[in-house]
Structure 1
Amino acid sequence: MFESIYIKDNWKKWNDNSSESDPPPDFYSDEFEMMMEVMRVDDHSFKKKGNLINPTYAKESKVCREIENSGILDCLPNEAALLFNVDTKLPTDKDHNYKFYTNSFARIVKKHSEHIEMYRNNHKNYRLIFFIFDESSAYFEVPNKETMKINRNVGTTIQGKAHFYFLDSTLLENILKYDIDYVIWYAPFKLVNTNNGVFDLPKAVIYDVKHFNLKPIIYKDDQMMSTEL
């Protein structure tokens, strides 16, 4: 399954079906008898009075409008792509929040899972892949979150247990309970700096969902902090 996507010649055998006028899911391959639905999750979004709020996306949209209005884009070639790295000026716990993360993960995966029957009807007997683009930061579990908030200073080392997101029981339950064959979980921004250098977490994890046999880890919501302090 992985090689059908990762190897360039194999990827050419996939059909991009992601426009709004196309029947879901986003991609399918008759050659490999597979289909794939793509989604993105983050740790910024939260609901307020029934509305979904995302300060980072709002700031990105504001910056994008400013650039468009400036006329700078007219000087760039058509194939140019812009990547925005904005600063919301929010404190860490309101910018990267573990509860926002787990809620976003559950909400997004559930939303796409509601169409699984449609995916399978559109492509009979094809194996179904969920590709999750995880934009969240890395996290760690600390002994006392409130103490850490008060005592942290630039250059201070904070003791904590690394968050193995790919084994987090709260996140995994939102994958394992649905009729999915494979999950590709891509999380490129999970960077952990330690006093012994950078601790590398996997950038991508792949699950054969129906044969999953690893032991999940239970993390305590009220002790989780982003490493982007």
Structure 2
Amino acid sequence: MKRAYKDEQDIVDHAADIDDAEVCFYPEESPLAHRFLSALRDGGFEKRERPDFEDNGASLLLEAMQVDDHAGSGKKDKTRAREASLLREIEAAGLDVPPDVRVLALADSGLPAGRDHNYRAYVRHFTATVDQHARNAETYRAERPGHDLGFIVFDESTSYFEGLGAFGQPGEGRPHVWLNDSVFVDAILQSGADCFVWMTPYKRLETIQTGVVPLPAMTIIDVALLRQADHVVYDAGRMVSSEE
């Protein structure tokens, strides 16, 4: 039984199906951003060894990765462990699930929200993952001169807001706009990528002041334009998951 979005091809396939209304261009639209979106939707990216995909007709390369905001990692990640346990339970129950169907296990780790979904863990995982892939950026470019390099990130984190501490109520504070968070922006700017496709299917934010805040499921960032945009510094000690 396959876990949903378990590999690079699943990520690219999912990106191709995201509707226009859920796509955001940041800080603004650009020809490069539209080239990557078109290649994703047209099925132009073909699997290769490294980077993960290429579209020779459009002169594009694409490297895929996943990040989350769980406080644990590897064997210590209770959410991942519970997901695996749920999938085993489904298999043991003998349910007739077609082999080409992806199963999404929404697991409750049993941890308090602040330990399950954690902003500092989110930052660590995001920056470390992007940095790991960034180390190969020049190698990718050398293999395909003239191609633009993109990173596509499947981000499984929740939404966050910067709370008011002891003086505020749950749901009060400044919503976290991950696109202009200086910590994430710095990682993107140092990645060596020309374009950054940021998929965030699980972010949902509701505040006392504004109610439900519509959030994009996929943001396409032209990195050259990102260098000119304003960035925001958030107080990590006051960042609270929307699931708390």
TM class by shorter chain equals 0.7 to 0.9
Contact between 2:138 and 2:192, CA under 8 Å: does it hold in 1?
Answer: no
Secondary structure of the structure 2 residue equivalent to 1:215: coil
Change (3 A) 1:9 1:158: closer
| Aligned mates of 2:181, 2:154 — CA distance in 1 | 16
Superposed counterparts of 1:214-225, under 5 Å: 214-225=229-240
Secondary structure of the structure 1 residue equivalent to 2:103: coil
Counterpart in the other structure of 1:176: 189
Secondary structure of the structure 2 residue equivalent to 1:166: helix
| Aligned mates of 1:8, 1:36 — CA distance in 2 | 10
Superposed counterparts of 1:158-173, under 5 Å: 158-173=171-186
Letter in structure 2 aligned against 1:11: D
Secondary structure of the structure 1 residue equivalent to 2:161: strand
Per-residue Cα deviation, 1:88-141 (whole angstroms, up to 9, x for no partner): 111010011000000000111011111112211322221000111111111011
Instruction: For residue 142 of structure 1, report the CA deviation from its aligned partner.
Output: 1.2
Superposed counterparts of 1:144-163, under 5 Å: 144=165, 147=166, 157-163=170-176
Question: What TM-score, normalized by structure 1, do the two folds share?
Answer: 0.83
Q: Percent identity?
A: 30
Unaligned runs of 5+ in 1: none
Contact between 2:161 and 2:240, CA under 8 Å: does it hold in 1?
Answer: yes
| Aligned mates of 1:8, 1:181 — CA distance in 2 | 15
Unaligned runs of 5+ in 2: 1-31
Among 42, 48, 51, the residue aligned to 1:11? 42
Counterpart in the other structure of 1:112: 133
Among 198, 205, 208, the residue aligned to 2:219? 205
Letter in structure 1 aligned against 2:43: K
Give the superposed CA RMSD. 2.2
The structure with the larger Rg is 1
| Aligned mates of 2:35, 2:43 — CA distance in 1 | 9
| Aligned mates of 1:76, 1:205 — CA distance in 2 | 32
Question: What TM-score, normalized by structure 2, do the two folds share?
Answer: 0.78
How many residue pairs align between the two structures?
211
Counterpart in the other structure of 2:90: 67
Per-residue Cα deviation, 1:124-171 (whole angstroms, up to 9, x for no partner): 221000111111111011121xx37xx96xxxx532111111000011
